[in-house]
């Protein structure tokens, strides 16, 4: 196991380094979920270009003007202590009182060649704080075209960052010079992390990804807490115990602090319902919501907010479905939040009144159930990444979907986990995902085959007439003998070891 280091993000890192070294003032917006590594990316770029100095960082609290200016003043004092003599004479920290003082100070810092990083910038979309954007616009307009300094604004709520920076009515409209959207680590990076940290079990890879997906901060916590180290306990037990139940547990407040606090009320209730039965159809979710809260009138509004504003819920459509299809299903699009609501929070609550072993058992069983739909999501993303890199065993010409019908409209239910299409080669792959190879039983294979046959008899399935049709089985790990036996029967077998090898191959990174 190696010590922790900065992983991945090479393209994004080079883009930030270019900003810092091109000799021109910039106003750069970086969006991405919380803990995704926005600040770490800037810190690493500063380290590689300026030795880590020359930037003032302030995290905007969800508060009022007075508190925000006080936080900015504290950040200014910390910068002055770390960088003696760098503050321009016009900046007097103890005289900052209002947003106007704060905006003028940001302008003065930039003119002195200092980089200003404003985190949680989306809070300025609140009506009570919106005056700051007009004041900042005045400074930005005077800085445009200058040769020194720059401003990074970081935000974790996409729609609010868009409203602040892209809406025509916003004071900062058309002022951004550069933009980055930071997504999860890719799987090539994750496999490197697992290798460096000595995590060599594909079954454990699934468990860690089902909770932490590609969020760098969470994996760093795992490294610091020794969660990767194999012992007599399962990966699920190690994660829940060291990161959520122990006295030093660093993540026990994470979901409540960073996600659920902003949503509150019915939005949280809707997420809890979805976590128990995802993915599910809108009608099914609406009925559960009405039964739970006794009122379904606000359901559509809350669901749209979770999908469009917070991007916490994904809308899934079967292959070739039209936009707005009634066949759409919904699932929580953030693994950490889904795992917290479905498995970890119940374990944390149980630990308050029950022995640790019982609380861990509750969490582990629920986490296993959570891993089922999560593994399907993992396979789809792996297929897409491998195809983008020119690796893997199935080049795609479209995103990977599944297929399901509406039972009341058909003779029987049809469900297929993976439908992957290659229009160029006229190949289609139907896949079945199981979180253990042994679950691909004869009965399961018979059901899978029947569903594929039923699908091919539908109007949608008849599009593939004359195509090469493959039937593939996916699991975290296939034992050699089991793989060979299934391949003899005509199945393609793919596991996480295969993807680890494909994504690590020369020329695919």
DSSP character string of 385-398 = HHHHTT-SS---SS
Question: How far, in Å, CA of 472 to CA of 464, rounded?
Answer: 16
Other C-beta atoms closer than 10 Å to the C-beta of 146 total: 13
Tell me how far CA of residue 425 lies from CA of 265, 376, 419, 466, 469, in angstroms.
50, 24, 15, 11, 11
- DSSP secondary structure of 487-501: HHTT-EEEEHHHHHH
Q: Is the pTM of this model over 0.95?
A: no
How do 313-316 and 329-332 pair as beta strands?
antiparallel
**Sequence-ordered list of residues with C-beta below 8 angstroms from that of 95, at least 6 positions apart, any chain:** 101
The answer to whether 203 and 235 have CB atoms below 8 angstroms apart is yes
380: tokens are 């789809």
439: tokens are 């679950």
Among 3.40.50.720, 3.40.1350.10, 2.115.10.20, 3.40.50.1370, name the CATH number for the domain at 374-504: 3.40.1350.10
Question: How far, in Å, CA of 146 to CA of 144, rounded?
Answer: 6
Q: In whole angstroms, what separates CA 42 from the centre of its chain?
A: 19
Residues of the chain with CATH 1.10.10.10: 255-333
Q: 255-333 has which fold? A: Arc Repressor Mutant, subunit A (1.10.10)
Dihedral, CA atoms, 497, 498, 499, 501, nearest 10 degrees?
Answer: 80
Q: How far apart are the first and last CA of the chain?
A: 23
Q: Please list the pLDDT of the chain residue by residue as tens digits (509 residues).
A: 557 999 999 999 999 999 999 999 999 999 999 899 999 999 999 999 987 667 999 999 999 999 999 999 999 999 999 999 889 888 877 789 999 999 999 999 999 999 999 999 999 999 999 999 999 999 999 999 898 899 999 998 888 999 999 999 999 999 999 999 999 999 999 999 999 999 999 999 999 999 999 999 999 999 999 999 988 899 999 999 999 999 888 998 887 777 677 776 678 889 999 998 889 999 899 999 888 877 767 888 889 989 988 889 999 999 998 877 888 999 999 999 999 999 999 999 999 999 999 999 999 999 999 999 999 999 999 999 999 999 999 999 999 999 998 766 556 889 999 999 999 999 999 999 999 999 999 999 999 999 999 999 999 999 999 999 999 999 999 999 999 999 999 999 999 999 999 999 654 43
Residues of the chain with CATH 3.40.50.300: 10-181
Classify domain 10-181 at the CATH superfamily level: P-loop containing nucleotide triphosphate hydrolases (3.40.50.300)
Question: How far, in Å, CA of 209 to CA of 418, rounded?
Answer: 19
Q: Tokens 């004359």 identify what position?
A: 466
Q: Tokens 């990083």 identify what position?
A: 117
Q: Tokens 């004092």 identify what position?
A: 77
Three-state SS sequence of 45-70 = HHHHHHCCCCEEEEECCCCCHHHHHH
Residues of the chain with CATH 3.40.1350.10: 374-504
């Amino acid at each position: 196991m190696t010590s922790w280091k900065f992983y991945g993000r090479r393209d994004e890192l080079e883009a930030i380094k270019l900003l810092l070294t091109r000799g021109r003032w910039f106003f750069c917006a970086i969006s991405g979920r919380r803990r995704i590594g926005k600040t770490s990316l800037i810190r690493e770029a500063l380290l590689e270009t300026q030795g880590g100095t020359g930037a003032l960082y302030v995290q905007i609290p969800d508060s009022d003007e007075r508190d925000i200016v006080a936080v900015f003043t504290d950040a200014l004092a910390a910068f002055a202590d770390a960088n003696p003599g760098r503050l321009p004479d016009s900046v007097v920290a103890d005289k900052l009182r209002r947003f106007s003082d704060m905006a003028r100070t940001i302008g003065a810092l930039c003119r002195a060649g200092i980089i200003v990083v404003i985190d949680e910038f989306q809070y300025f979309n609140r009506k009570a704080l919106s005056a700051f954007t007009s004041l900042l616009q005045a400074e930005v307009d005077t800085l445009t075209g200058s040769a020194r300094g720059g401003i990074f604004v970081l935000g974790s709520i996409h729609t609010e960052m868009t409203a602040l920076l892209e809406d025509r009515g916003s004071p900062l409209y058309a002022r951004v010079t550069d933009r980055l959207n930071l997504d999860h680590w890719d799987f090539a990076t994750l496999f490197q992390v697992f290798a460096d940290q000595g995590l060599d079990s594909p079954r454990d890879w699934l468990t860690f990804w089902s909770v932490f997906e590609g969020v760098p901060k969470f994996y760093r916590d795992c490294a610091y807490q020794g969660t990767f180290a194999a012992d007599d306990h399962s990966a699920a037990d190690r994660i829940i115990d060291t990161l959520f139940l122990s006295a030093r547990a660093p993540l026990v407040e994470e979901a409540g602090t960073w996600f659920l606090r902003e949503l509150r009320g019915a939005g949280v209730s809707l997420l809890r319902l979805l976590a128990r039965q995802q993915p599910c159809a809108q009608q099914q979710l609406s009925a559960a919501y009405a039964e739970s809260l006794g009122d379904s009138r606000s359901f559509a509004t809350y669901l749209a907010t979770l999908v469009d504003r917070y991007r916490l819920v994904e809308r899934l459509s079967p292959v070739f479905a039209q936009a707005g299809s009634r066949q759409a299903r919904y699932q929580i699009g953030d693994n950490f939040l889904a795992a917290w609501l479905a498995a970890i929070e119940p374990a944390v609550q149980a630990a308050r009144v029950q022995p640790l072993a019982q609380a861990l058992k509750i969490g582990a069983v629920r986490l296993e159930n959570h891993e089922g739909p999560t593994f399907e999501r993992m396979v789809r993303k792996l297929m897409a990444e491998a195809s983008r890199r020119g690796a893997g065993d199935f080049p795609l010409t479209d995103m990977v979907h599944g297929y399901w019908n509406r039972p009341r409209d058909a003779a029987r239910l049809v469900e297929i986990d993976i439908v992957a299409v290659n229009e160029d080669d006229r190949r289609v792959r139907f896949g079945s995902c199981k979180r253990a190879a042994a679950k691909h039983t004869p009965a399961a294979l018979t059901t899978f085959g029947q569903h594929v046959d039923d699908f091919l008899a539908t109007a949608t399935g008849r599009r593939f007439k004359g195509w090469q049709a493959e039937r593939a089985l996916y699991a975290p790990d296939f034992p050699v003998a089991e793989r060979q036996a299934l391949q003899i029967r005509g199945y393609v077998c793919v596991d996480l070891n295969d993807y680890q090898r494909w994504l690590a191959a020369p020329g695919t990174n």
